[in-house]
Amino acid sequence: DAGITQSPRHKVTETGTPVTLRCHQTENHRYMYWYRQDPGHGLRLIHYSYGVKDTDKGEVSDGYSVSRSKTEDFLLTLESATSSQTSVYFCASGANTEAFFGQGTRLTVV
Amino acid sequence: GIQVEQSPPDLILQEGANSTLRCNFSDSVNNLQWFHQNPWGQLINLFYIPSGTKQNGRLSATTVATERYSLLYISSSQTTDSGVYFCAVTGGYQKVTFGTGTKLQVIP
């Protein structure tokens, strides 16, 4: 299995607080992705990166920002968490072929 | 962006039955993958199949890129096959877009 780890795995936070989720990969993959999964919506792309410091928005990017200062790390930040951002977040990485996923982070905003 | 549709959305099978899941996509793609999300939420890579046919045990997949569809075949289904099956396509800049999935329940 590809070495992709997400941290934390579970988090409960209060509305209005900032939250950062971390994705770390040991595969030297060029591409990295953040998705959220909600019932009835499958996996929706939030942001993705096609290289260090190169990122772009996905279909549900409002309220989220990302940073990639090193090949192995891709950070997802919720500047001011809202209840609508309660979800399961998945990170993925890949080269020019397959993408591989982390275990997911369950975020609850109360 | 690329639209990805999967059918059927839900499927209930008796153990031992065969099934075919379909994935249609709206534009040319660089890659296509099939994933299985197990009941614990883990996403498992099944196939990387931008074109042609591949088999892995009881599972096989076929992608016809020129007609913009892919099929996942499950033969002799087992209860451990239960979960959600996703198709995901890769377009420009390696942007990966998922379909909404097929939820499969295999009953004993």
Tally of CB atoms within 10 A around A80: 11
Q: Report the residue count for chain A.
A: 110
**Do the Cβ atoms of B94 and A94 come within 8 Å?**
yes
Distance in Å, alpha carbon of A17 to nearest chain B alpha carbon = 26
pLDDT of residue B81: 96
Q: What is the CA radius of gyration of chain B?
A: 13
- In this prediction, residues B14-24 reach a mean pLDDT of 97
| List of residues 6+ apart from A2 with CB closer than 8 A | A25, A27, A29, A93, A100
Distance in Å, alpha carbon of B74 to nearest chain A alpha carbon = 21
Distance in Å, alpha carbon of B88 to nearest chain A alpha carbon = 9
> Do residues B2 and B23 touch, judged by C-beta distance below 8 A?
no
**Do the Cβ atoms of A98 and B48 come within 8 Å?**
yes
Outline where DSSP puts E strands in chain A: 4-7, 10-13, 19-25, 31-38, 42-51, 54-57, 64-70, 73-78, 87-94, 99-101, 105-109
Instruction: For chain A, 110 residues long, give each residue's pLDDT as a single digit of tens.
Output: 569 999 999 999 999 999 999 999 999 999 999 999 998 788 999 999 999 999 999 999 999 999 999 999 999 999 999 999 999 999 999 987 889 999 999 999 99
Most B CBs within 10 Å: which of A59, A87, A98, A103, as the mutation test of the B interface? A98
- In this prediction, residues B19-33 reach a mean pLDDT of 95
Distances in Å between the Cα of B17 and the Cα atoms of A34, B10, B12, B88 are 36, 15, 10, 25
**Do the Cβ atoms of B42 and A103 come within 8 Å?**
yes
- Phi and psi angles of residue B100, each rounded to the nearest 5 degrees, phi first: -85, -5
**Do the Cβ atoms of A31 and B86 come within 8 Å?**
no
